[in-house]
Amino acid sequence: MTNEVLLDFNNVTMQFGGVTALSEVSVKIFRGEILGLIGPNGAGKTTCFNVMTGVYQPTQGTVMFNGSDITKLKRYEITQSGIARTFQNIRLFSEMTAVENVMVGADARKTSSIPASLLRTKRQRTEEKESYDRSMELLALMGIADRASDAARNLPYGYQRRLEIARALATEPELLCLDEPAAGFNPAEKQELNELILKIRDQGYTVLLIEHDMNVVMKISDRVTVLDFGRKIAEGLPQEVRENPDVIAAYLGVPDDAA
Amino acid sequence: MPDWLIVRTFWDLTVTGLALGSIYALVALGYTLVYGVLRLINFAHSEIFMVGTFSALIASTQFLNIPLLEDGNYPYRAGGTLVLFLVFILFAAMFISGVGAVALERIAYRPLRGNGDAFGAIALAFLTAFVLGLIFVNETKANLIIACVGTAPISYSYIRFFKKGKKAPRLAFLISAIGASTAIAEAVGIWGPNRREQYQTPRILEKKVLFKALGTDVRVDYVIVIVGALLMLTALTLFVNKTKLGRGVRAVAQDAETARILGVNVDLIIVVTFALGGVMAGGAAMLFTLVYDQSRFNIGFILGVKSFTAAVLGGIGNLKGALLGGFMLGLVENYGSALFGGQWKDVIAFVVLLVVLMVRPTGILGESLGRARV
Amino acid sequence: MSQLLILWKRFYSLFAGVQAHWKSMSRVQRLSGYALAVLALYLAPWWPKIPGIGWLVNTPGTQFSTVLNDQVIIFVLVALGLNVVVGLAGLLDLGYVGFYAVGAYVVGVLTSQHASLPWIVALPIAVLVSMLVGVILGTPTLRLRGDYLAIVTLGFGEIIRISAKNLDWLGASRGISDIGKPPSIGPLKFGVIDPKPYYWLGLTLVFLVVFCLYRLEESRVGRAWTAIREDEDAAELMGVNTFKFKLWAFAIGAAVGGLAGAHYAGKVGFISPDNFPLQLSILFLAAVVLGGSGNMPGAILGGIMVAWLPERFRNFTDKRVLVFGIALVLVMVFRPEGLLPRRVRTKTAMRTSSDGKEVAQ
Ligand SMILES: Nc1ncnc2c1ncn2[C@@H]1O[C@H](COP(=O)(O)OP(=O)(O)O)[C@@H](O)[C@H]1O
Ligand SMILES: [Mg+2]
What chain A holds in terms of domains, given with CATH numbers, is 1-82+173-259 (3.40.50.300), 92-156+164-172 (no CATH)
Same domain flag for B85 and B208: yes
More confident residue, C242 or C342: C242
- pLDDT confidence tier of residue B368, bands split at 50, 70 and 90: low
Q: Is the Cβ–Cβ distance between A27 and A58 less than 8 Å?
A: no
Q: Which residues, 6 or more positions from C120, have their beta carbon under 8 angstroms from its beta carbon? A: C182, C183
For B89-119, write each residue's pLDDT tens digit.
999 999 999 999 999 999 999 999 988 888 9
Task: Please give the pLDDT value at position C353.
Answer: 30
- In this predicted structure, the answer to whether residue C355 has a pLDDT above a threshold of 70 is no
**Residue A108 and residue C220: Cβ atoms within 8 Å?**
no
Q: Give C-chain residues touching A54 at CB under 8 angstroms.
A: 237
CA gap A216, B172 in Å, rounded: 44
- pLDDT confidence tier of residue A130, bands split at 50, 70 and 90: very high
- pLDDT confidence tier of residue B72, bands split at 50, 70 and 90: low
Q: From the CB of A21, is ligand 1 less than 6 Å away?
A: yes
Q: Is C50 domain-assigned?
A: no
CA gap B116, B166 in Å, rounded: 10
Number of domains in chain B: 2
Q: Calculate how far, in angstroms, residue A211's C-alpha sits from the geometric centre of ligand 2.
A: 9
Nearest CA to ligand 1 atom 18: A46
- In this predicted structure, the answer to whether residue B289 has a pLDDT above a threshold of 50 is yes
Same domain flag for B140 and B228: no
% chain B with pLDDT above 70: 94
The CATH number linked to B300 is: 1.10.3470
Mean pLDDT for chain C? 87
SS3 assignment, position B36 = helix
- In this predicted structure, the answer to whether residue C50 has a pLDDT above a threshold of 90 is no
Q: Which of A123, A124, A153, A175 to mutate to test the interface with C (most CBs of C within 10 A)?
A: A153
Same domain flag for B330 and B251: yes
CA gap A27, A24 in Å, rounded: 10
Same domain flag for B316 and B335: yes
Q: From the CB of A42, is ligand 1 less than 6 Å away?
A: yes
Task: Please give the pLDDT value at position B74.
Answer: 72
Q: From the CB of A16, is ligand 1 less than 6 Å away?
A: yes
Q: Is C336 domain-assigned?
A: no
Q: Is C106 domain-assigned?
A: yes
Task: For residues C137-158, give the mean pLDDT.
Answer: 88
Instruction: Report the number of secondary-structure helices (H) and strands (E) in chain B.
Output: 13, 4
Ligand 1 atom, smallest distance to A39 CA: 21
- In this predicted structure, the answer to whether residue C83 has a pLDDT above a threshold of 80 is yes
Q: Beta partners for B29? A: none
- pLDDT confidence tier of residue B2, bands split at 50, 70 and 90: low
More confident residue, C43 or B367: C43
Q: Is C80 domain-assigned?
A: yes
Q: Of A245-254, B161-170, C273-282, which gets the smallest average pLDDT?
A: A245-254
Q: Is the Cβ–Cβ distance between C63 and C195 less than 8 Å?
A: yes
Terminal CA-to-CA distance of chain B, rounded, Å?
A: 52
- In this predicted structure, the answer to whether residue C265 has a pLDDT above a threshold of 90 is yes
Q: Which residues, 6 or more positions from C243, have their beta carbon under 8 angstroms from its beta carbon? A: C142, C143
Q: Is B373 domain-assigned?
A: no
Task: Please give the pLDDT value at position C360.
Answer: 30
For B224-274, write each residue's pLDDT tens digit.
999 999 999 999 999 999 999 999 999 998 888 888 898 899 999 999 999
Picking from C140, C322, C352, the nearest residue to B190 by CB comes out as C322
Task: Please give the pLDDT value at position C146.
Answer: 76
Flag whether the ipTM exceeds 0.85: yes
Same domain flag for B205 and B317: yes
Chain B / chain C CB contacts < 8 angstroms: 178
> % helix / strand / coil in chain C, to the nearest 5?
70, 0, 25
Q: Give A-chain residues touching C226 at CB under 8 angstroms.
A: 93, 95-96, 100
CA gap B323, B142 in Å, rounded: 47
Same domain flag for B13 and B85: yes
Task: Please give the pLDDT value at position B374.
Answer: 30
Q: Is C126 domain-assigned?
A: yes
Task: Please give the pLDDT value at position C357.
Answer: 36
pTM to 2 decimals? 0.89
DSSP annotation string for B86-117: HHHHHHHHHHHHHHHHHHHIIIIIGGGGT---
Tell me how close the Cα of C274 comes to any Cα of chain A, in angstroms. 35
Task: For residues B280-290, give the mean pLDDT.
Answer: 93
Which has the closest alpha carbon to B33: B365, B319, B363?
A: B319
Neighbours of B212 (CB within 10 A): 10
Task: Please give the pLDDT value at position C358.
Answer: 35
Q: Is B374 domain-assigned?
A: no
CA gap B311, B307 in Å, rounded: 6
Same domain flag for B267 and B134: no
Pocket test for ligand 1, best of A16, A87, A232 (most atoms within 8 A of CB): A16
Q: Is the Cβ–Cβ distance between A155 and A99 less than 8 Å?
A: no
Catalogue the long-range contacts made by C10-19 (C-beta closer than 8 Å, 24 or more residues apart).
C16/C344
Residues in chain A: 259
Range of the domain at B329: 3-115+165-359
Task: Please give the pLDDT value at position A73.
Answer: 94
Q: Is C56 domain-assigned?
A: no
Q: From the CB of A46, is ligand 1 less than 6 Å away?
A: yes
Alpha carbon separation from C270 to B30, B114, C73 (Å, rounded):
41, 47, 18
- In this predicted structure, the answer to whether residue C361 has a pLDDT above a threshold of 60 is no
Q: Which residues, 6 or more positions from C245, have their beta carbon under 8 angstroms from its beta carbon? A: C89, C221, C224, C225, C228
Q: Calculate how far, in angstroms, residue A183's C-alpha sits from the geometric centre of ligand 2.
A: 11
SS3 assignment, position A231 = strand
Q: Give A-chain residues touching C237 at CB under 8 angstroms.
A: 53-55, 75-76, 79, 85
Task: For residues C132-146, give the mean pLDDT.
Answer: 90
Q: Is the Cβ–Cβ distance between B23 and B53 less than 8 Å?
A: no
Range of the domain at C228: 70-277
Task: For residues C4-13, give the mean pLDDT.
Answer: 72
Number of domains in chain C: 1
CA gap A176, A174 in Å, rounded: 7
Q: Of A93-97, B74-78, B290-294, which gets the smallest average pLDDT?
A: B74-78
- In this predicted structure, the answer to whether residue B31 has a pLDDT above a threshold of 60 is yes
Task: For residues C16-22, give the mean pLDDT.
Answer: 76
- In this predicted structure, the answer to whether residue B141 has a pLDDT above a threshold of 70 is yes
Nearest CA to ligand 1 atom 26: A42
Ligand 1 atom, smallest distance to B374 CA: 1
Q: Is B368 domain-assigned?
A: no
Q: Of A206-220, B87-101, C258-272, which gets the smallest average pLDDT?
A: A206-220
Same domain flag for B140 and B91: no
Task: For residues C38-50, give the mean pLDDT.
Answer: 88
Same domain flag for B155 and B173: no
Q: From the CB of A55, is ligand 1 less than 6 Å away?
A: no
Q: Which residues, 6 or more positions from C136, have their beta carbon under 8 angstroms from its beta carbon? A: none
CA gap A156, B182 in Å, rounded: 42
Q: Is B370 domain-assigned?
A: no
Same domain flag for B146 and B169: no
Task: For residues A72-87, give the mean pLDDT.
Answer: 95
Q: Is B315 domain-assigned?
A: yes
Task: For residues B44-58, give the mean pLDDT.
Answer: 93
The one-letter amino acid at C185: I
Task: For residues A179-193, give the mean pLDDT.
Answer: 90
Q: Is B365 domain-assigned?
A: no
Q: Which residues, 6 or more positions from C263, have their beta carbon under 8 angstroms from its beta carbon? A: C73, C74, C77, C198, C201, C202, C205
Q: Is C308 domain-assigned?
A: no
% chain C with pLDDT above 90: 54
Q: Of A166-175, B305-314, C59-68, C322-331, which gets the smallest average pLDDT?
A: C59-68
Task: For residues C35-51, give the mean pLDDT.
Answer: 88
For A48-69, write each residue's pLDDT tens digit.
999 999 999 999 999 999 999 9
Pocket test for ligand 1, best of A12, A19, A209, A254 (most atoms within 8 A of CB): A19
Q: Beta partners for A65? A: A7, A68
Same domain flag for B129 and B201: no
Task: Please give the pLDDT value at position A100.
Answer: 94
DSSP annotation string for C280-326: HHHHHHHHHHHH-TT-HHHHHHHHHHHHHHHHH--TTGGGHHHHHHH
Ligand number with the minimum distance to the CA of B372 = 1
Q: Is B82 domain-assigned?
A: yes
Same domain flag for B122 and B269: no
CA gap B308, B316 in Å, rounded: 8
Task: Please give the pLDDT value at position C352.
Answer: 29
Ligand 1 atom, smallest distance to A210 CA: 23
CA gap A212, A207 in Å, rounded: 16
Q: Is B366 domain-assigned?
A: no
